[in-house]
């Protein structure tokens, strides 16, 4: 898919019991593909709910590239923990780096607009490298 989202887990589901979760488009009967998903949270998760949700946000849902597809400019949005450094780059499918920037986490959302309009149409990979981890997002350039 081209979209991502983060859903905080309600405290009521942190009871050590297995639950089945589906995501439905608001105001419709359309269920998002990939569901239902099983979720089991131990009851001890209630005690650390705040720290767990922050960690999950950093790991899972806060690295986005939009719009996708794009006609030129894309907004890269991410969040790094305080004092974590990293490197963002955009690579074409031949492996050539077309854009690169070092970043430092300050505990707030980092956003960077990048203009790809000077490059040829095609698929590009946005790469985030941090302390031994690499995350990627695909973006399609169509002018």
Q: The tokens of 113 are what?
A: 């607009």
Q: Is the dihedral of CA 41, 46, 48, 51 positive or negative?
A: positive
Average pLDDT value for residue range 97-108 = 90
Q: What pLDDT sits at residue 21?
A: 80
pLDDT in tens, 16-60: 788 888 878 778 888 777 777 787 776 554 444 433 333 333 444
Report which DSSP code applies to 119.
S
Give the span between the Cα atoms of 108 and 77, in whole angstroms. 11
User: Is pLDDT above 90 for 74?
Assistant: yes
Q: What is the pTM of this model?
A: 0.59
Residue pair 44/72 in contact (Cβ under 8 Å)? The answer is no
């Amino acid at each position: 898919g081209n979209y991502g989202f983060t859903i905080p887990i309600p405290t009521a589901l942190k009871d050590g019991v297995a639950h089945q979760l589906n995501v439905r488009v608001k105001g419709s009967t359309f269920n998002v593909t990939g569901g239902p998903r099983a979720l089991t949270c131990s009851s001890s998760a209630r005690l650390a709910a705040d720290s767990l949700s922050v960690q999950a946000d950093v790991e899972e849902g806060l690295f986005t590239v939009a719009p996708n597809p794009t006609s030129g400019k894309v907004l890269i949005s991410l969040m790094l923990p305080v004092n974590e450094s990293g490197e963002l780059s955009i690579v074409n499918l031949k492996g050539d780096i077309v854009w690169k920037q070092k970043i430092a986490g300050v505990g707030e959302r980092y956003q960077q607009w990048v203009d790809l309009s000077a490059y040829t149409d095609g698929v590009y990979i946005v790469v985030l490298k941090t302390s031994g981890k690499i995350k990627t997002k695909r973006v399609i350039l169509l002018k």
